[in-house]
Amino acid sequence: MAEESFYFIKMTAKEPSSRTYVLLCIVVPENKSGVDRMDLVVSQNPETVAIGPSDSYRECRNKIQKITLSGAVLQSATQGLSSYLKESFGMESYMIEFFHYLEHFEEEKLKSLLMQSVHRVMGKGEQDSILYLSKVTKSELEAVSNSNKQEEQTKQEEVIPIPASVPKDAKLVNFQFILSPVTGTSVSELRKEDLVMIKILPDSDETKTLIETMKLKDEAGVIHPCPATIIDFIRHERAVEIIVKIDENVYGRCIEDEMNIRVKMYETPSQLQEEQVIYDSLESNEKSWFVPAVIAIAILTVLWIIVTFFVL
């Protein structure tokens, strides 16, 4: 079976006069079913825009994590840009235009469309922007160029050391939360021992093998969520590093800089059963009131007709 293809967008924007730099990465399935992944940062670090046409999604995401931990992030601007883009991606007319530019590889028009959101954060002054658009496979999204492998590994070890809460011989993987905007719990309210739903990121060969071993990937190649227990929070200047226990010897790490996003909590079978019982009870009560209410309304209607007849 052919490997799934994606449109991969990398865009940078800078305004040196205000020392503002933007890095935006967007991944869209080839069937244009929606935006699969979006990572971005607005910072005062010039390294933010130091990417090239060959840099993979993984390399860009690692750069965003590094910049986030460096403390140079413009938090409100980053959150603002993320909100503006998500708002745009929810508009049908916007997405029709967005998908058209993707399909026809109209990079300049695509850049102008995305820069509308950037301008709302940075203003409409003179800004230099560059956009790279390519079609890649899933494995290419997670690839690391040979020239960058050793450098990336060294930087990751220096910037993001393995937390003391992770056992020495355990596997540590990257994950992302499953979001639940309406009924979820905000990141700022999470506590140790909370059970949350997560998705392991297949960003290395070892992690891909682990996902297969845990049977989290179906025949269509979709990686399914799994429950995990929060065991540690590590506070950084502009973000929080959240450590979870996924399995007996498997732990996960996520660096989150948006404290207000709501994540899906794991519900045990007993909790789900209890919710169903409550729902059934409420539904039963509603039905038990329905017939008497109809009878009462009918009686009142007849009485009103009789009274009206005698008065006339």
93-136 pLDDT tens trace? 999 999 999 999 999 999 999 999 999 888 776 778 999 999 99
244 close to 214: Cβ distance less than 8 angstroms: no
Determine the Cα–Cα distance for residues 142 and 221; give it in Å rounded to an integer.
15
Q: Tell whether 216 is covered by a domain.
A: yes
Is 295 a member of any domain? Answer: no
- Roughly how many angstroms between the first and final C-alpha of the chain, as a whole number? 83
Question: How much is the pTM?
Answer: 0.55
Residue-range definition of the domain harbouring residue 213? 162-263
pLDDT tens profile 208-244: 889 999 999 888 778 899 999 999 999 887 678 999 9
77/108 same-domain check: yes
- Output the pLDDT for position 221: 78
129 and 167 housed in the same domain = no
Maximum CA pair distance of the chain? 99
Could you give the angle at which helices 75-89 and 107-122 cross, rounded to 10 degrees? 130
Give 182's contacts (C-beta < 8 A, 6+ positions apart): 262
Residue 280: predicted pLDDT: 56
DSSP 8-state assignment for residue 265: B
- Residue 52 located in a structural domain: yes
Q: Does residue 97 sit within a domain? A: yes
3-state secondary structure of 269: helix
Structural domain includes residue 87: yes
Write the CB contacts of 107 (distance below 8 Å, at least 6 apart in sequence). Answer: 101, 131, 132, 133
Q: What is the pLDDT of residues 22-52, one digit of tens each?
A: 999 999 998 887 898 999 999 988 889 998 8
| Residue 192 confidence (pLDDT) above 50 | yes
State the amino acid at position 202 in one-letter form: P
Residues 119 and 176 in one domain: no
Q: Tell me: do 142 and 244 sit in the same domain.
A: no
Q: Residue 134 is encoded by which pair of tokens? A: 């390519």
- 115 and 176, same domain (yes or no): no
Which pLDDT belongs to residue 157?
A: 47
Q: How many domains does the chain have?
A: 2
Find residue 27's DSSP bridge partners. 8, 37
What value, to the nearest 5°, has the Cα angle with vertex 26 and ends 175 and 10? 115
> Do 122 and 231 share a domain, yes or no?
no
217 and 107 in a common domain: no
Mean predicted lDDT score pLDDT of the chain: 83
Q: What is the pLDDT of residue 312?
A: 54
Contact status, residue 23 vs residue 155, Cβ threshold 8 Å:
no
Say if 281 falls within a structural domain.
no
Q: Is residue 231 part of a domain?
A: yes
